[in-house]
Amino acid sequence: MPTFQGNTTSKLPEAPTSIFAVMSHLAQKEKAINLSQGYPDFPTSPELIELVSKAMREGFNQYAPMPGILPLREVIAEKIESLYGTAYHPESEITVTAGATQAIFTIITAMVQEGDEVIIFAPAYDCYEPSIRLNGGKAIEIELRPPSYGIPWDQLASAIGEKTRMIIINTPHNPTGTVLSRNEMIQLEKLVRDTDITILSDEVYEHIIFDGLEHQSVARFPGLAERSFLVASFGKTFHNTGWKMGYCAGPELLMKEFRNVHQFNVFSVNHPIQKALSGYMKNPENYLSLPDFFQEKRDKFLRAIQGSGFKFTPSKGTYFQLLNYEDISDEQDLELAKKWTRELKLASIPVSVFYNQKTDHKVLRFCFAKSEETLMRGAAILNEIESF
């Protein structure tokens, strides 16, 4: 094939291959237990699969309406209002998306202009910063420090300036498993009160929260809801991340701009799955049972590694558990995660990759959305590690 000599200057020159792809690939190659990437190794609901098949058989196989089918937007609106108290209008304030990732990219593309600053908290989910950069914005990273990973409020207050266009929050938080409290949300509400700042609230783990804690959605706080995009993921909630389905809710003024971009980005998303979800979501038990389901997994995993050399604070939400290995090894986390995948056959995610500066606190992230058998095999390996 002749070699193309055109201009291929990269718009993301330093972007490495996503760590999730790297570790999952390595886990597969090494036949290691994969507690790295955030997806379940157990099946999605057979009832939901049947509903998708039925929708396909019934002919829901052409383009869905641009913002999503109305019955699905209606059940989403009902869910948000009953759980968090804000009524989003299904016609004008909710859009169904191809997963949370597409919603996040679309929000940033719709809102961020050349030179704008967007405040993010690191460790941060990996798609935020590149999406900001691709749109000419600048990510201002505020570091969350172990073991609490709490927001340094003074630092946030001084980072806010004329150029601040947006703040991205994520609760429950990937990778740390922390959650924002009611008081923290009120503090945020006060901080942005007299500004034009919009909030992108990544709430993909809203239904995976433990120890009786309540998820503090932006939709519980009028001063935040009026300026926020709320992002959710069906993949995380219904154990089918491969379907790439989610949604975005926000006040009409913001949603109008969102849809301006969405229509040229994907136009509309998977029709039969929307049809199926609109039926499945009618039973709130299908998402309200998640805290107990995942808490049992967290507790079994943590009980099993109680006597190991790792230090940890139990995850409060998400299906991730951080383990600090500083008493076991002083090796850099990325190298150690790769080494343990190759030599011990256990894959995890190094937390330094979630920091722009690659800050290494000697912490690895383990996903416990796995069958009991997988978790116990993983725990047995962790228990055997004494020094490395």
Contacting residues toward ligand PLP, per CB under 6 A: 38, 99-101, 125, 170, 174, 202, 204, 233, 235, 241, 246
Residue 184 or 331: the one with the smaller Cβ distance to ligand PLP is: 184
Cα dihedral across residues 13, 18, 21, 25: positive or negative = positive
Type of residue at 170: N
Q: At what angle do helices 271-280 and 70-84 cross, to 10 degrees?
A: 40
Bridge partner list, 200: 168, 229
Residue 36 or 233: the one with the smaller Cβ distance to ligand PLP is: 233
Query: At closest approach, how far in Å is the CB of 264 from ligand PLP?
Result: 19
Cis (ω within 30 of 0) for the bond into 175? yes
| Contact status, residue 387 vs residue 358, Cβ threshold 8 Å | no
Residue 174 or 295: the one with the smaller Cβ distance to ligand PLP is: 174
Q: Would you give the DSSP letter of residue 311?
A: B
Residue 84 or 319: the one with the smaller Cβ distance to ligand PLP is: 319
Residue 202 or 360: the one with the smaller Cβ distance to ligand PLP is: 202
Residue 170 or 268: the one with the smaller Cβ distance to ligand PLP is: 170
Closest CA to 385 of 279, 275, 310, 286: 310
Query: At closest approach, how far in Å is the CB of 282 from ligand PLP?
Result: 21
Query: At closest approach, how far in Å is the CB of 43 from ligand PLP?
Result: 17
Query: At closest approach, how far in Å is the CB of 291 from ligand PLP?
Result: 17
User: How far, in Å, CA of 206 to CA of 223, rounded?
Assistant: 20
Query: At closest approach, how far in Å is the CB of 250 from ligand PLP?
Result: 16
Strands 320-324, 363-367: pairing is antiparallel
| Contact status, residue 149 vs residue 184, Cβ threshold 8 Å | no
Query: At closest approach, how far in Å is the CB of 178 from ligand PLP?
Result: 12
Which residue in the shown chain puts its C-beta closest to ligand PLP?
99
